[in-house]
Amino acid sequence: MTDTASTARQGALDALPMFLPAVPFALVLGIAIMGSGLLPLLGWSSSPIIYGGASQLTLLTLLGDGAAVAAAVTAALIVNARHLMYSAAMAPVFQQQPPWFRWVGPYFLVDQVFVLSMLRANEEPAAFRAYYLGVGVTFWLLWMIATASAMVVGPIVPREWQLGFAVPVLFTALLVIGVDRWPKAAAAGVAAAVTLLAADLPHRSGLLLGAVAGIVAGILIEKARG
Amino acid sequence: MSALLAIVLSGIGTYFSRAVFILALANRRIPRPFRLAMEYVGPSVMAALVATMLVGPQGQIAAGPAELSALVVAALLAWKTRNHLLTLGGGMAVFWVVRALGAL
């Protein structure tokens, strides 16, 4: 039992440095929540309910912009479609876990938890579970605290700084860091161009049109190259 | 109330996207075309989101020299450093400096 506890503690310790990249996210999200016009507690409830920075940011920014619920939710979900890949990669590891953990575990499956716990995929099921929960619960707690703190800090910043512009800057960072070969850059270019051309469509639906156009363009380019 | 609905729906969808293979399809292989499509979801959605944020409520382009130069610098920083924090800081710094210059 002490073994399990120390494994969980190791997970918690490993989670701490991994949280650093999430800090700017939390800050921008806090500002976006306060700028969205939603009740602060309602906006913050997205942290425990959705628990995914990019999805939360997308949803709250679009809702604040007056987007339709269906468009905002669809956009928020496709932003985090990579979770499907995590789920698929984790499935064999979770096969050896008890049912309760197969239900509870996925809730904590964010990028950093995936990266850290995959390194322990070959350990004993009980040790893996302890480590996963150590990382997952620590990361979750930090996210709850960080997003709440950012909502307090955000509004203190003078309005003229226009901190809301940090949202597109951060998404640009995510975009560029995610591009590891040129068809992805082409897909991004097509997506941006189509979104701008479709900017007149109601409820920001040009966003979805642009995203789909980019995905199709990327696949076609990859196919053409063989 | 519609905001709460949107948050709850997104929460259910997000949980489902993390749980689906773990709960149900553990031994199935993901079809290749689907895997390929998912690779392009990230860049396409991010680019579309950034483009959306540069457009005003009436569909007009709402980005000036400060916004555009900040995003170009952010893209370069992200490409060179692969660091979110540095990219955010650098992009915002350029945004503020160019805007201050424009206001002179």
Residue-wise pLDDT tens digits, B55-98 = 876 667 788 899 999 999 999 999 999 887 889 899 999 999 99
Residue B104 exposure: Cα atoms within 13 Å on the Cβ side: 6
Out of B44, B54, B71, name the one closest to residue A191 (CB).
Answer: B44
CB B46 to CB A174 under 8 A? yes
Q: Where are the domains of chain A?
A: 2-160, 179-225
Residue B97 lies in a domain: yes
pLDDT for position A158 = 81
Question: Quick one: pLDDT at residue A208?
Answer: 83
**Is A211 in Cβ contact with B41 (below 8 Å)?**
yes
In angstroms, the CA A219 to CA A225 distance is 10
* Chain B residues touching A41 at Cβ < 8 A: none
Cα-Cα-Cα-Cα dihedral sign, residues A105, A150, B90, A75: positive
**What residue ranges in A20-85 does DSSP mark as E strands?**
none
Query: How many domains does one find in chain B?
Result: 1
Per-residue pLDDT, A203: 62
Among B30, B46, B54, the residue to mutate for chain A (most A Cβ within 10 A): B46
Interface contacts A/B by beta carbons within 8 Å: 274
Q: What is the predicted pLDDT for the residue at A159?
A: 76
Whether B27 shows a pLDDT value over 70: the answer reads: no
Q: Closest Cα partner for B13 from A72, A135, A44, A38? A: A72
- Give residue A85's pLDDT: 76
Nearest alpha carbon to residue A32 among A51, A46, A22, A20? A46
Calculate the CA A166 to chain-centre distance: 16
Low pLDDT (below 70) residues in chain A: 1-2, 202-204
B48 in any annotated domain: no
Residue B51 falls inside a structural domain: no
Residue among A76, A187, A213 whose CB faces B10 most closely: A76
Is B70 part of any domain? yes
pLDDT score, position B66: 94
Within a domain: B90: yes
| pLDDT value for A96 | 85
Q: Answer whether A49 sits within 8 Å of B7, measured CB to CB.
A: yes
Range of the domain at B99: 63-104
Residues A14-28 as b/e (b if ≥16 CB within 10 A, e otherwise) read bbeebbeebbbbbbb
Nearest to A215 among B26, B40, B57 (CB): B40
| Domain-located, residue B5 | no
In A80-124, alpha helices (H):
82-94, 99-104, 111-118
Contact A168 B67 (CB under 8 A): yes
Residue A136 with chain B: CB contacts under 8 Å: none
Q: What local confidence, expressed as pLDDT, does residue B101 receive? A: 92
